[in-house]
Amino acid sequence: MAAENLGILDSNDKTRHSIAELEQFFKAWSTNDKGIIDKPQFHVAISCKGKEMGALELKTIAEKYIEKMGYKENPYLIYYHSDTANNHVHILSSRVNAQGQKINDSFERRRSQAFIKEELGRNSKQQVGEQVTEALTYNFSTEAQFKVILEGKGIAVNQKDGYYQFVKGAGIDLKIGKDLVDNKIKDYQQPDERIKQLKALFIKYKPALAPDKFAEFMQNKFGVEVLFHTAKGKDTPYGYTILDHAKKQVFKGSQIMKLPELLALATKADMLKSGADLITTLADNDQLRYRDFKSQLSKLGFDLNAAGQVKLAEENKTSFTIDKDRIRQLMYNDRLYEAKKFNITTPDQAEVIGKVMFLNRKDLPLLFTNNPESKKVSPEQEKIITSDKLNSLLAIGKDLGDIAKENNYAFAKKNNEIYLIDQKKNMLYKVSELTERTLEYGQVKLIDLDRISGPSFIKDMDNSSGTFAEVSGLLLDILEASANENKQEDKKKKRRME
């Protein structure tokens, strides 16, 4: 994301430095007349919760932090990562300044925490403002319902001197006039049509599920949050509220279903009926994926296996059987979905991914319709980065097997051309375009696509689903088993000849 104050390297493209170049530069910078400074590396990671901040927001915070800690005039790098549960940036610099002296690191941890606290306070005010604005777009009938919308986001709501005060953390983050909420309540109109829809959903799905499972099901499938209210020290709810995020409506629970009905335990007959209804509802969805189908059945208390058998959890008896052709289609949709995550730019790339994921040739053009994430990156730029990384690691004697493992690379062979598949970034390249070195592929599991053939292979791959790693893992197992069978057959032939 940033590479600043790199001296002679600044004359080049700042984003194109190899690992070796950067390593050499930082070692030279951190050395004075007495030699290299002890523990010269300054490395900090700044992370947000989940995906609530993007690369540019985190980069801005990182640059403020660098200045606050006294490293603005030093060489520094900022890298952005989104491959964990929380988006984050890494800051790398040297603890040595331009005069060869160590930068003051007294109370560094305390100063870092103070900066983050200050930055969080600034961000907290902005987030609270956005969330209050969003809450005011909902249709609610009471002050309590307005509060419920925000309390679920960790915002306490108080009323004082004609104002609403909103608190998230230590202090008051926002105040608004009471009339803004009062006017929304006055303008409330009961959404009768939506009430009918929700009643139908509750009647259809609730009988098959325990209250907590039903609440989870409604939120995940329909964007409808069911909030139970309990008195202090009590377990049984005295009431509940419905936050219909999909339609931005708030309801008293009694508007949709009486509390005793909602709290009633599911019967086996009701579970079987709801399972049958769900299967019927999903049967005509040609885009449905196996894992989604399995997940939705699981929320109703059913297990689905690859043979199409649907059983109530913890029961051995099959409740329903899904047609084998339908199961194959669901699994195919899974593989196609995963294949479309790749940033495909050429027909040969589509052929490789299509072959690994066992797709029909007629569907290969669909791989050029990439997911939104892939459009944020430049394939050519990523290719240069991968080339630099591969060559740098090979130059320092790294084993190809270790390189593949550490970077989540896979290698596939098609028509005597070897492809490097970056499973983190969902990109692939011809190895011949990345390096002029001759690589030793005996250290990696090479997916030999030229060896794919035979009815056994077709049967196994036709009934496969999952991520690229999962499907390619199965493919490698099949190819290995086939190679072993051929070896055994060769041995038998040899013995017969002898």
pLDDT at 372: 47
Query: What is the β-pairing status of strands 409-414 and 446-448?
Result: parallel
3-state helix/strand/coil string of 250-265: EEEHHHCCCHHHHHCC
The set of residues, in sequence order, having a beta carbon less than 8 Å from that of 370 and lying 6+ positions away, is 340, 341, 342, 343, 344
Q: Residue 425's CB: how many other CB atoms inside 10 A?
A: 19
Helix axes 108-135 and 143-151, enclosed angle (nearest 10): 140
Phi then psi for residue 80, to 5 deg, are -110, 135
Token pair 């086939």 is found at 482
Residue 156 CA, chain-centre distance (Å), reads: 30
Element (H, E) at 279: helix 268-283
Q: Distance (Å, rounded) from C-alpha 401 to C-alpha 28?
A: 31
The set of residues, in sequence order, having a beta carbon less than 8 Å from that of 12 and lying 6+ positions away, is none
pLDDT at 492: 60
Copy the structure tokens of residue 256: 């949709």
Query: What is the β-pairing status of strands 409-414 and 2-4?
Result: unpaired
3-state secondary structure of 315: coil
Q: Distance (Å, rounded) from C-alpha 360 to C-alpha 54?
A: 36
Element (H, E) at 159: strand 156-160
Sign of the torsion formed by the C-alpha atoms of 214, 216, 218 and 221: negative
DSSP letters, 318-343, are EEEE--HHHHHHHHHHHHHHHHTTS-
Q: Where are the beta strands (DSSP E) in 184-223?
A: none
End-to-end Cα distance, the chain: 67
Token pair 């690691």 is found at 393
pLDDT at 370: 54
Q: Distance (Å, rounded) from C-alpha 349 to C-alpha 355?
A: 10
Q: Distance (Å, rounded) from C-alpha 118 to C-alpha 124?
A: 10
Long-range contacts of 489-496 (CB under 8 A, 24+ apart): none
Give exposure, 341-359, as e/b (b: 16+ Cβ within 10 Å): bbbbbeeebbbbbbbbbbb
CB 204 within 8 A of CB 277: yes
Sign of the torsion formed by the C-alpha atoms of 6, 11, 12 and 18: negative
DSSP letters, 417-481, are EEEEEETTTTEEEEGGGT-SSPP-GGGS-EEEGGG--SHHHHHHHHT--S-HHHHHHHHHHHHHH
Per-residue pLDDT of the chain (498 residues; tens, 9 = 90+): 888 888 766 654 555 677 777 888 888 888 876 666 778 889 999 988 777 777 777 888 899 899 888 888 899 999 988 777 788 899 999 988 888 888 887 788 888 888 887 776 666 677 788 889 999 999 999 999 999 998 877 788 888 888 998 887 656 668 888 899 999 999 999 999 999 999 999 988 888 788 888 888 888 888 899 999 988 888 888 999 999 998 999 999 999 999 999 998 777 887 788 788 778 877 778 888 888 888 878 877 888 888 888 888 778 889 888 888 888 999 999 999 999 999 999 999 999 999 999 999 999 999 886 554 444 567 888 888 899 889 988 988 888 999 998 889 999 999 989 999 999 889 999 999 999 998 988 889 999 998 887 666 777 788 888 889 989 988 888 888 877 766 666 566 655 555
The set of residues, in sequence order, having a beta carbon less than 8 Å from that of 285 and lying 6+ positions away, is none
- Residue pLDDT, tens place only, 69-117: 888 889 999 998 877 778 889 999 998 888 888 888 778 888 888 888 7
